[in-house]
Structure 1
Amino acid sequence: MNTKIKIQLSVMMFLEFFIWGGWFVTLGTYLGNNLNATGAESAMAFSTQSWGAIIAPFIIGLIADRYFNAEKILGILHLAGAVLMYQMYLSTDFDGFYPYVLGYMILYMPTLALVNSISFNQMKNPAKEFSFVRVFGTIGWIVAGLIISYVFLWDSVEGRQEGLLKNTFLMVSIASACLGVFSFMLPKTPPKVGKDEKISISAILGLDALKLLKDRNFLIFFISSILICIPLAFYYQNANPFLSEIGMDNPTGKMTIGQASEVLFMLLLPYFFKKFGFKKTLIAGMLAWTVRYLLFAYGNAGDLAFMLIIGIALHGICYDFFFVSGQIYTDSKAGIKYKSAAQGLITLATYGVGMLIGFKIAGVITDTYKAADGFHAWDNIWTFPAIFAFVVMILFVIFFKNEEVEYKE
């Protein structure tokens, strides 16, 4: 892969995740402050990610993989997304906002697979080359958070009072338009499947891999993956509103510590895999969710602010040790025939079904512990996912039998 292509792919990844991190992190705070949304309404808005994840395989499998170059589809989706994002910027109430965020996420979620497809198509050795390109996505997410908090101060107390968080949608709309235009300059990535080649719905959704559920260990892992997404949804939906409400300075910027942690623990993952094995690594990931939420429940923005920072920094263990480890485990169990189908099934189960349930529950719990003055009893809200994650971990410990899983670097 020559330097020009490497730079192109890196810019593509940077913008792809700058766009996501530039509005999704602060969405909960924006909905509450600017649109006076309830917890249930916030859950509806965040659930659009799950609906996008469920619909995305159809866009990729039925359109992108059969009729058009991936880079052209990527460009069209981001240009259309820029228009919808601008409409979100103009919205003044939740009823007007929701159709645009739903439409946007249906368009955006397929682009996550497209940027990977475009990257892999240019690489002779993806196992070695992809990590360099993908890390620019994490950098893009971090830069978006730092700009919001430290450059424009949109999430400061004054910024929230003035409703400045709406500017995140304008910023992302511009970035999306830039990536849309830039996508047409990316290396050509032709369709993988012939127009006349038959492809089943079950293959598109990864349902062919359901045969793997006959394996008791994989079934336990599959169920645990869905269940652990319920506490995960609490973090996505409530972390930024929580930090903002209790008075933490520059909450969005501080949350980028989680992405830096993600990079660090990704590098440490091979060591943990070899040293402790798959089961203990996964258990560490689930236990980290419990510890994180207990830190959130009992920390504050004053003398116990360090507890909140530690909770944010645990993101690398929470995400990498469970979800990345799970992808590796799924790959090892699937075999050549079901590799793609198995990964598609896990994605559908977690980001689709699991988080859809999680956002719904998080919305109900958040509304339950909202006082008349608009403030929340956050200790009660965070205790629920802490206990839930711990119960899932205990069940996994009891029912999952230890087995060797090879980590291929």
Structure 2
Amino acid sequence: MKSTTRIQLSFMMFLEFFIWGGWFVTLGTFLGSNLAATGAQTGMAFSTQSWGAIIAPFIIGLIADRYFNAERILGVLHLAGAFLMYRMANVPDFTAFYPLVLSYMILYMPTLALVNSVSFNQMQDPAKEFSPIRVWGTIGWIVAGLTISFIFSWDAQEAIKAGALKNTFLMAGGASLVLGIFSFFLPKTPPKVEQGEKVRIADILGLEALRLLNNRNYLIFFVSSVLICIPLAFYYQQANPFLVEIGMQNATGKMTIGQVSEVLFMLLLPVFLKRYGMKATLLVGMAAWTIRYLLFAFGDVGQYSFMLLLGIALHGICYDFFFVSGQIFTDSKAGPKIKSAAQGLITLATYGLGMLIGFWVAGKISDANLLADGTHSWQNIWVFPAIFAAAVFVLFGLLFKNEKLEAAEVEDVPVVPTEPGAVV
């Protein structure tokens, strides 16, 4: 690959995840402070990610793969996204905000697959070439959080009260505008499917992979994956409002510790899989969710602030040891003809169905623990997903039988993480 192409793709990845990290992390705090949204309404807003994940395969499979160059669709979607971001920054209430954020996520989620398509189309050896480019996406997410907290201090208590978090949408919208224009100068990525070639809905949704559920072990994993996404949703929806409300300084910037942790634990994942096997790896990932939420439930910004930071740092284990190892397990169970379909199915089930339920439950639990002074009983909120994750841990531990993976399968683990919703 030419160095200029590598720089182009790296910049594309940086902006793609800078945009997402620039508003999604603080969304819950923005909704509560700027729009006086209820917990249920906040859950509705976060669930747009799931609806976007459900609809994205249709946009990619029925439009992008058949008619237009991927880089051109990427440009159009981000230009439209920039306009929606500007509108979201200036809405008066949640009623006006919701259709905008829903429209935005329906447009944004397909871009996660499109940036990968543009990248892979330029690579001779994706296994070696993709990781150094994709890591710039993680860096973009981190830079967005650090910018919000340490450069502009938009998540400081006084700034939040003054409505400063609306600026996160303007920042993300500006980056979306840049990426939208820049996309038209990316290397050409023509349609993958010849015009006139029949594309089945079952192929787009990965339904052919449903036969994997005939395997008892995979069925247990599949159900556990959907269930563990319910407590997962609590972190994305409630963590930033929680940290801000209890008074943590530079909360958004400190939450980027989670992304740094992802990179570090991704490097440890192949070693852990080889030494302890798939079952132990998945169990460690699920156990980390329970421990994290208990740390949030009993930590504070004073003497026990280390518990909050440790809970954030556990994100690498929580995500890598369950979701990334789960992708590897899915790949190992699928035959060569349905590998893509199997990954599509597990993504649809987790980030679609599982997190859709999780965001709804998190909103209800939040409303049930709203106090008269406008604050929340956070200990009660965090204990619920801790218990739920522990129950899934026990269920999985009792029913799932350990399986050994082939050495080649373990060595093919990607060395950089994917944010929720990203397709690799």
Per the shorter chain, which TM-score range?
Answer: over 0.9
Partner of 2:421: none
Deviation at 1:254, TM superposition (A): 0.3
Q: Which amino acid aligns with 1:350?
A: T
1:225 corresponds in structure 2 to 225
Cα deviation, 1:171-204, whole Å, max 9, x if unaligned, reads 0010000000011111111111111011111110
For 1:41, give the aligned amino acid: Q
CA distance in 2, matches of 1:16, 1:39: 28
Q: Of the candidates 407, 411, 419, which is equivalent to residue 408 of structure 1?
A: 411
In structure 1, the residue matched to 2:20 is: 20
- Which amino acid in structure 1 is aligned with residue 21 of structure 2? G
Q: Distance in 2 between matches of 1:352 and 1:94?
A: 23
1:125-274 alignment to 2 at 5 Å? 125-274=125-274
Q: Comparing both structures, which one devotes a greater share of its residues to helix?
A: 1
Q: Which residue of 2 aligns with 1:46?
A: 46
Deviation (angstroms), 1:2: 1.6
Structure 1 position 92, deviation (Å): 1.4
- Give the alignment of 1:26-37 within 5 angstroms: 26-37=26-37
Identical positions, percent = 72
Q: How far did residue 161 of structure 1 move?
A: 1.2
Q: Give the letter for the 2:198 counterpart.
A: K
State the partner residue of 1:316.
316
Q: Which amino acid aligns with 2:85?
A: M
For 1:259 and 1:387, the matched residues in 2 are separated by 25
Q: Please, what TM-score do these two structures have when normalized by structure 1? A: 0.99
Aligned to 2:417: none
Residue type matched to 1:169 in 2?
F
AA matched with 2:143: V
SS where residue 270 of structure 2 aligns? helix
Give the unaligned 5+ runs of structure 2: 413-424
Output one character per residue of 1:344-380: Cα deviation in whole Å (capped at 9) or x when no partner: 0011000100000000000000000001111100000
Report deviation, 1:129.
Answer: 1.2
Shift of 1:134: 0.8
| In structure 1, C-alpha distance between the alignment counterparts of 2:186 and 2:132, rounded to whole Å | 17
What letter is aligned with 2:141?
A: W
User: What 5-or-longer segments of structure 1 have no aligned partner?
Assistant: none
- The one-letter amino acid of 1:79's match is L
Post-superposition Cα deviations, 1:276-297, rounded to whole Å, max 9, x if no partner, equal 1111011000000000000000
TM-score normalized with structure 2 length: 0.96
One-letter code of the match for 2:95? Answer: D
**Distance (Å, rounded) in 2 between the aligned partners of 1:187 and 1:48:** 31
Match of 2:88 in 1: 88
Cα drift, residue 90 of structure 1? 1.0
Within 1, Cα distance between the matches of 2:124 and 2:262? 26
2:143 & 2:366 partners in 1: Cα distance? 29
Indicate yes or no: 2:7 matched with 1:7.
yes
1:36-71 residue CA offsets vs partner (Å, 9 max, x unmatched): 000000000000000000000000000000000110
In 1, the alpha carbon distance for the partners of 2:177 and 2:138 equals 20
Q: 1:278 matched to which residue of 2? A: 278
Whether 1:70 aligns to 2:70 is yes
Where has structure 1 moved over 3 Å in runs of 4 or more?
none
CA distance in 1, matches of 2:221, 2:116: 25
CA distance in 2 between partners of 1:227 and 1:193 (Å): 35
Deviation at 1:408, TM superposition (A): 2.9
Alignment of 1:344-363 (within 5 A): 344-363=344-363
Amino acid at match of 2:219: L
Deviations 1:328-348 (A, max 9, x none): 111111121101100000110
Residues 63-112 of structure 1 deviation map (CA, whole Å, 9 limit, x = unaligned):
00000011011000000000011100111110011110000000000000
Q: What's the counterpart of residue 334 of structure 1?
A: 334
Aligned-residue RMSD, C-alpha? 0.6
Give a deviation string over 1:248-292, Cα, whole Å, max 9, x none. Answer: 000000000000000111111111111111110110000000000
CA distance in 1, matches of 2:3, 2:221: 40
Residue 100 of structure 1 corresponds to 100
Residue 298 of structure 2: aligned partner? 298
